Chains A and B, each alone.
Chain A
Amino acid sequence: MATTVTEPGLKRVERLERIWVEPRGVLGWLTTTDHKRIGLLYFFTTLAFFGAGGIEALLIRTQLAEPNAKVLSPETYDQLMTMHGVTMIFLFVIPMSLGAFGNYLIPLMIGARDMAFPRMNALSYWLFLASGLFMYASVFLHAAPNAGWFDYVPLALKQYDPGRNIDFYALGLIFNGISSTAAAINFIVTIFKLRAPGMSMNRMPLFCFAMLAVSLSLIFALPSLTIDLVYLELQRNLGFHFFDVAHGGDPLLWQHLFWLFGHPEVYIIILPAFGIATSIIPTFSKRKMIAFPLVALAELLVAFIGFGVWAHHMFATGLPTITLVFFAAASMMVVIPSTIQVFAWTVTVALGRPEFRAPLMFIGGFIVFFVLGGLTGIMFAAIPFDQAATDTYFVVAHFHFIIFGAAVFPILGGMYYWFPKVTGRLYHEGLAKLSFWLTFVGTALTFFPMHIIGLLGMPRRVYTYPSSLGWGAYNLSETIGAFILTAGLLLIFWNLVYSRFRGAPAGPDPFFGGTLEWATTSPPPPYNFPVIPTVRSAYPNWDAEDRRADVARLERGELVLDGGHETPASTVVDAVPDEVLEMPGESPWPLAVAVCTSLLFIMLLTRHYAVAGVFAGFALLAVAAWHSKEPQET
């Protein structure tokens, strides 16, 4: 785009560079408010947690490779099993898709210069990092949470679990929830208010619809979990009786509140994957998504209906039949938005001239696994079958095809897809295809046999099993699959590291993508776009005339906003520009708030409640300090 820019245009670009530049080095990363750098911080952090969760999975699979193995003690197994679940859900999939992909891509896709609240964005990251380190501290203190990620009471009560293990879990997840809530609010406001002129709701990328649905789900689902965790801490440490039968409490209260969060959570995990799929499919099929409005509606609908199905996790708890039937009906209904999307993806590929490069291959794998996991999901809406198969390895197979096959495959495909945008270099296509086949075969081999041993009677969460039940061969093949899968993942990692330094230059738009992130340079400048783009369709980067007009507007100085640290805001539905927002610059205060909050949670963990109050005060002071005005460059 910069090819035809002349003297006055270049002057404006230089001015933007000066206004938006951030300090270099470590200080720059610690104080950054640039959504792209925050996205990268999320990326590397979640990748590290993915590694930890993966090692936990491999240890679990090694212990289960043969009957009566003694690789892990039962206590260690329980801790690893719990940490594997907590890590993959709260420290990998959600922060990776929302924090890394969402942060990096949403402002670019909607033609904005940053998130709506850049400092709150930084705060979300630092709180996320701190909550992850807080929970992982437990591993090094040999007191990792050990009651499963679902943490059922009474098992998680002090009477049966007297150590700090569960306190790490409860406080860590409350801590993590603050970060997610702040991030979700930020995404909602950004998507509603910062869209480029002309990007009305019906022209918004489907990726953004998915992220909007996720963010709305999060702010309604998280309070339920937080309340549950607060009850748990109050009962464990301050003598309350929420879950205690002898004092009029009820252990099922935990399960209701947990799954009222936990099932929307499943859609929070899977929706970003839908968003990534609907980004990759049109690009490589070289055509628009078929049934675009229906797919957008389906993404929002799935998040909404997802709130009405939680009790299908509790079909064996003895709820009245009428309750079971209601929740089974809702669970059947939630299938429809998914079938709409599955057919929209496959028909779009069939109608296009698809080029099966690695990102599209991962989306192919995603569709296969999502359909497999979705179909077994339908089986769980058949109550008698659910009551037989629940809490067996059949469930483990089902939700790993959803959470790994369907949620993580698009993340892996997305890593390849947006790698050229982030680094300015191309990944190695041959290695990428090989890595696809390794992860595909590995995933199928790891999780498919679990259906069978589930029906053969193997319950979940057992640290060992007898040799007499015929489960050994299946378990061994699962373990072999897990190691093949690991090889595939390491190959992806290697490909990205290698290509970062040796990859061929990518240029701004190597795949001819339709959305706005491909309209700027790779990597994008700190201000994202020299000119705020204007939009007339859902695939604005395919509107060549409009993009040429951007260059002309740079010459004329229209919508360049080089008078300050600014981005335009627009109306919620039609995206008519209605004001110019002055954006805050880099700041140390989000990090300071996160440090104070961490100290607050450490004090709560060690039950120094008065000191905790002091740190809460410090955190509030830091919030006040961050709102102090600082001089703006002109």
Chain B
Amino acid sequence: MAAVPLTLPVGAWAGDNQNALHPASKQEHSISVLWWVMLVGCSIGFGVIVILLFLGWVRRNRDYLPFGGRDRAGTAIVIGLGVFVPIVILSLLFVWSDLYVIKTTEAPAANSTPMSVKVIGHDWWWEIRYPGTRAVTANEIHIPVRTRVDMLGTSADVIHSFWVPALNRKADLIPGRVNRLLLDANRPGEYRGQCAEFCGQQHAHMAMYVFADPPNVFRRWLANEARPARKPATPQAREGERLFLNLPCSGCHMIRGTSADGTIGPDLTHLATRTTLAALTLPNKPPDLTHWIEDPQRYKPGSKMPGFSLTSSQRDALVAYLDGLK
């Protein structure tokens, strides 16, 4: 099998930033080193077996091994290569990966990190909270770069799994439990992640971004997120706010600083600071926002958000209001 030639381009061909072999942290780096070493070892093991099989074919008219051995030599090979060699190799792998590398990827010791972020899985989006602040957002996590951040994950409904391949292993989000994971990006960037535990119809559309920002950018962002929503600035946006509060929107979404206090869907207080909608299903641009409000079921069938029939002026007002929630 062409195991090696087929796998080498993995890094080079990656179209985006959800690649487990493009580590952006010490943790993921150690996992990818583990992978490459195991790949080399396994390729050798695979080669030995294929060569043996090939020898069996080439020497199909000779009933002895190349060096002249027969049954006793054969049994010696079975015991040597089938028992002793694997015991040595597996013991080495066990000690290295399961006793040593695991220390790097383990959950950080309690209170050993300067900050933490709480992630709560929902069908089918991520609620993000920053303990110690009022900031609440969804689907786009910001962390300061080169800072150890403790991710505390749980679920509000079914089991989800938090996985940002470039940053670390995955952690299941399980109702009634809190699983922890270290996020410690070593270079600024946006890292895509996706739910890895089957959670129902829209498991495929439950993605997220982790933005690793320079610390000052992060602090500004967090301070803004913690504030209540901006007041609408134009008459059209004010009309949009009135619609939002009178239509069923406010029953499911919260906009801090208004009477909208729903908790079924994501907090929209600073929706306009996010780059995507519906857990990365659509970009967050006014035309996409319009499509989403009109017919969410078209983009994310099974989502809890119903479509609304609005006049075009109502629709534009609503979008103008939401687009102003910086």
Interface, chain A (partner B; CB < 8 A): 73-75, 78, 147-148, 152, 154-155, 160, 245, 250-252, 287, 290-291, 294, 316-318, 321, 324-325, 328-329, 332-333, 335-336, 339-344, 346-356, 364, 367-368, 371-372, 375-376, 378-379, 381-385, 387-392, 444, 448-449, 451-452, 455-457, 459-465, 468-471
Q: Please determine whether B34 and A328 come into contact, CB atoms closer than 8 angstroms.
A: no
- Please measure, in the bound complex, the distance between the C-alpha atom of A487 and the C-alpha atom of B53, giving whole angstroms: 26
Using known A-B contacts A154-B175, A346-B53, A382-B93, determine if residue A452 contacts B7 with beta carbons closer than 8 Å: yes
- Please measure, in the bound complex, the distance between the C-alpha atom of A91 and the C-alpha atom of B33, giving whole angstroms: 40
Question: Which residues of the other chain, B, contact A456 by a CB distance below 8 angstroms?
Answer: 10, 14, 18-21
Query: Whose C-beta in chain B lies nearest to the C-beta of A298?
Result: B82
A-B contact pairs, 22 of them (CB 8 A): A251-B175, A251-B176, A252-B174, A318-B174, A329-B98, A336-B82, A336-B86, A343-B77, A346-B56, A351-B64, A375-B46, A381-B93, A381-B98, A382-B101, A391-B163, A391-B196, A457-B20, A462-B194, A462-B204, A463-B203, A465-B204, A470-B15
Using known A-B contacts A160-B158, A368-B50, A378-B42, determine if residue A354 contacts B56 with beta carbons closer than 8 Å: yes
For the complex of A and B, 8 pairs with smallest distance between CB atoms: A470-B15, A245-B176, A457-B18, A387-B169, A382-B97, A349-B56, A462-B204, A318-B179
Cβ 8 A contact of A463, one of B18, B123, B170, B204: B204
Question: Which residues of the other chain, B, contact A317 by a CB distance below 8 angstroms?
Answer: 172, 174, 179
Using known A-B contacts A154-B159, A375-B46, A457-B18, determine if residue A316 contacts B170 with beta carbons closer than 8 Å: yes
Q: Please determine whether B172 and A148 come into contact, CB atoms closer than 8 angstroms.
A: no
Question: Which residues of the other chain, B, contact A355 by a CB distance below 8 angstroms?
Answer: 60
Question: Which residues of the other chain, A, contact B326 by a CB distance below 8 angstroms?
Answer: none
What's the A-B contact tally at a CB cutoff of 8 Å? 272
Question: Which residues of the other chain, B, contact A74 by a CB distance below 8 angstroms?
Answer: 201-202, 204, 301-302
Query: Whose C-beta in chain A lies nearest to the C-beta of B9?
Result: A452
Using known A-B contacts A291-B74, A384-B104, A388-B31, determine if residue A375 contacts B42 with beta carbons closer than 8 Å: yes
Consensus secondary structure, chain A interface: helix
CB distance from B305 to the nearest CB of A (A): 15
Q: Please determine whether A455 and B35 come into contact, CB atoms closer than 8 angstroms.
A: yes
CB distance from B185 to the nearest CB of A (A): 16
Q: Please determine whether A460 and B176 come into contact, CB atoms closer than 8 angstroms.
A: no
Q: Please determine whether A287 and B7 come into contact, CB atoms closer than 8 angstroms.
A: no
Number of interface residues of B (CB under 8 A): 91
Cβ 8 A contact of A461, one of B60, B62, B81, B203: B203
- Please measure, in the bound complex, the distance between the C-alpha atom of A471 and the C-alpha atom of B46, giving whole angstroms: 26
Q: Please determine whether B171 and A316 come into contact, CB atoms closer than 8 angstroms.
A: yes
Using known A-B contacts A74-B302, A353-B62, A457-B18, determine if residue A152 contacts B198 with beta carbons closer than 8 Å: yes
Q: Please determine whether B87 and A336 come into contact, CB atoms closer than 8 angstroms.
A: yes
Q: Please determine whether B97 and A347 come into contact, CB atoms closer than 8 angstroms.
A: no
Using known A-B contacts A339-B82, A346-B56, determine if residue A457 contacts B165 with beta carbons closer than 8 Å: yes
Question: Which residues of the other chain, B, contact A459 by a CB distance below 8 angstroms?
Answer: 163, 194-196, 203
Question: Which residues of the other chain, B, contact A316 by a CB distance below 8 angstroms?
Answer: 161, 169-172, 196
